[in-house]
Amino acid sequence: MKEDILQGNIKFLNLGDLMQLLGGNGSSGILRIMSPYAPEPGIIYFDNGNPINASCGMLSGLDALYSLFGWTDGEFEFTTTRVTSERVITKGRMGIILDGLKMLDEGQIERLGPVSADTRTAKYSEVGAELPVIWGPLVDYMYVVDEEEFHDGDAILEEGRHGNWVWVVLEGVIDIIKETASGPLTLCQIGNGSFVGSISSFLVRNNSRMYSAKAVGDVQLGVLDSQRLAQEYSKMSYEFKAFVMSLDKRLRSVTDRVVEYSTKQIDLDDYLKYRQKVLEQGDDEKRLFRVQHGKASLVQKTDVGFVPLAHLQRDDFFGFIPFLDLGHEPEYASVLASKDLKIQTLNPDIIQQEYDNISTTFKNFIDNIATCTNSLTKVLNNQQRELMT
């Protein structure tokens, strides 16, 4: 059987891009990265789109994988093949990408390449290194019907205004801003491949924008075909529709927690009031659940205390999602439930099958929601740490 090979230059497609591309396609195989500044190639083993092992010189596993984010000059080659390597990396793909880019930006990972080498992380560090820059998957142009340009400081969205269109960032960086009682709060920055707008934007008539967006430098956006996205959503099963909307609500909830922390209006007791522990943080849970009745709260335990993430209600999902990494349960958060909670147990493989069959654009949209949720959860962790020190 002939093996498929993908080759290119890591200046054009860096490791973060490659991992998102391979993850979005659910690829299995071996990625080799060759640098003129290293005597041996770095190797990453992928199973169904997720890295399971890596080697780089004397390093192995997650340490080796993180070190490869510093390789800024060289070639890559991905070969599809059955992977027999032992799974030693269990951390989610998107969490690895976010952590790797942040560690590179903060100087925790050594850069291997010419001193003048430029990466996307370095390129945009000057516009706000203290903020996470969220990158989306590679842009699928099939759903792009028009392009628009914005310049430094231009308002792209205004919180509270109505709008049913969605953009994808083709080039540039955008500030995402929430209005608070203490004034505007910049939550994060989004870059190429990220989406401006939410799932609700093309599903809810007279949708109100949940945040403001402002261009940082020159920005080029692709206008998505909202009618086509809405038609695709209408053909999904009831369970998958509920799953998508639950992800959208989860991101909104985490965003609200960031605002509450910034204005010191967080009420932790409201999240710890439920005593029934449905999922314990760190559980090896492989099931997915949907709330049928009652309420639950999602809480993360850190070395400086508990961090409230979200409330869960009817039709919200929680548990193991094999193809997404929210940075939440079961590995990084517990689920506390009311006494009257009733849940339905689902097979996550069924949800994944439908996810695998949707369009690349809709899949990218879902992936970007997960990435934003993961990134803002890390912001919450930092806020908790600052509050306690």
The residue to which tokens 């789109």 are assigned: 49
> What per-residue confidence (pLDDT) applies to 92?
82
Q: Identify whether the C-beta of residue 33 lies closer than 8 Å to the C-beta of residue 10.
A: yes
Candidate CATH numbers 2.10.25, 3.40.50, 2.60.120, 1.10.20; the one for domain 236-388: 2.60.120
Output helix, strand, coil percentages for the chain, rounded to the nearest 5.
Answer: 30, 30, 35
* CA separation for the pair 11, 117 (Å, rounded): 9
Q: Determine the longest span between alpha carbons in the chain, in angstroms.
A: 62
Rounded CA-CA distance 219/154 in Å is 9
Stretch among 7-21, 36-50, 76-90, 320-334 having the lowest mean pLDDT: 7-21
In the chain, CATH 2.60.120.10 covers 133-229
SS3 250: helix
The full DSSP string for 118-178 is --HHHHHHTTTTTSPEEP-SPP-GGGEEEEEEE-TT-EEE-TT-B----EEEEEEEEEEEE
- Going by pLDDT thresholds of 50, 70 and 90, the confidence category of residue 131 is low
Residue 118: is its pLDDT beyond 80?
A: no
Compute the distance between CA of residue 85 and CA of residue 48 in angstroms, rounded to an integer: 13
Quick one: 28 exposed, middle or buried, by C-beta within 10 A (0-12, 13-18, 19+)? middle
Average pLDDT, stretch 234-261?
Answer: 94
Predicted confidence band of residue 26 (pLDDT cuts 50, 70, 90): confident
- The Cβ of residue 193 has, within 10 Å, a number of other Cβ atoms equal to 21
Report whether pLDDT(1) > 60.
no
Q: Are 22 and 31 in contact (CB under 8 A)?
A: yes
CA dist., res. 243 & res. 296, Å (int): 16
pLDDT for the residue 114: 59
Please tell me the distance from the alpha carbon of residue 93 to that of residue 371, in angstroms, as a whole number: 10
Mean predicted lDDT score pLDDT of the chain: 87
Global pTM? 0.76
Would you state the structure tokens that stand for residue 154, as one six-digit string?
A: 């231009």
Residue 255 has pLDDT above 90, yes or no: yes
Q: For position 125, what pLDDT does the model report?
A: 34
How many other CB atoms are found less than 10 A from the CB of residue 109?
A: 20
Mean pLDDT for the stretch of residues 52-74: 92
Q: What is the mean pLDDT of residues 234-252?
A: 94
Task: Give the DSSP letter of residue 198.
Answer: -
CB 384 within 8 A of CB 261: yes
Among the residue ranges 22-26, 51-55, 88-92, 376-380, the one predicted with the least confidence is 22-26
| Model confidence at 122: pLDDT above 60 | no
Quote the CA–CA distance of 352 and 221 in Å, as a whole number.
29
* Gyration radius of the chain over CA positions: 21
Q: What angle do CA 240, 381, 216 make, to 5 degrees?
A: 80
- Give kind and range of the element (H or E) at residue 223: strand 212-224
Determine the 3-state secondary structure of 328 from DSSP: coil
User: Does the pLDDT at position 382 exceed 90?
Assistant: no
Instruction: Using the predicted structure, report yes or no on whether residue 49 has a pLDDT greater than 70.
Output: yes
Q: Tokens for 196, please give them.
A: 């401006």
Judge residue 67's burial from the number of C-beta atoms within 10 Å of its C-beta, 0-12 exposed, 13-18 middle, 19 or more buried: buried
Instruction: For residues 113 and 117, give the distance between their C-alpha atoms in angstroms, rounded to a whole number.
Output: 7
Most confidently modeled of 87-96, 276-285, 290-299?
Answer: 290-299
Residue pLDDT, tens place only, 158-204 = 998 888 889 999 999 999 999 998 899 999 999 888 999 988 888 87
pLDDT at site 91? 86
Give the pLDDT score at 136: 78
- Please enumerate in sequence order all residues whose Cβ is within 8 A of that of 231, keeping only pairs 6 or more positions apart, or say none: none
CATH of domain 133-229: 2.60.120.10
Q: What is the pLDDT of residue 117?
A: 32
* CA atoms of 63 and 56, how far apart (whole Å): 9
